[in-house]
Amino acid sequence: MNILVKTLRWTSVVSLPAFLLTIPNSPAMAGSIGSCAEDLIANGVAKTSAAVACSDALKPGDLASCVGDIKADTDIKGDDILQACYRVRRPNELASCVTDLSSLETGQSSMALDNCRRSLLPERYAECTLDLTNIVNISSEEAMENCITAELKPSEVAPETTN
């Protein structure tokens, strides 16, 4: 009987802290979701869209940052920005890509947003586009199309070598 009592005491000592670790930290999460929604609404996103997106986002802060950064540098509507930021795995890279490309030509912001969203590596896509426009001196639209299609293979553009 004495062993049973000691076992129950030790079990309760070990299981209580384990139980406390499994309780979700909802106040901290609720604060980040609330601030995310507040930031999105301030950037022109509809209230219901902001609430759904922030509550569903894995990292609500990154989502709000993405929308805020793009909205600050472009004339794109907040809801359109939210759709793009919500659909990517790297929202901060998307924001960086769009803001880098928004300096090229006016009127190309929506094309930059769409292509940066479609790219698997948005920062590399922006670098490709900026290099083509600055070094090769082609239009930004043509540079964006060339970088997003990536149809050229290294063997097609590499210099020929003779043995």
- Least Cα distance to 90 among 115, 59, 53 occurs for 59
Buried b (16+ CB within 10 A) or exposed e, 122-144: bbebbebbbebbeeeeeebbebb
pLDDT at 15 over 60: no
Q: What number is the average pLDDT over the span 49-70? A: 94
Total-model pTM: 0.71
What was the pLDDT predicted at 160?
A: 61
Q: What number is the average pLDDT over the span 25-41? A: 75
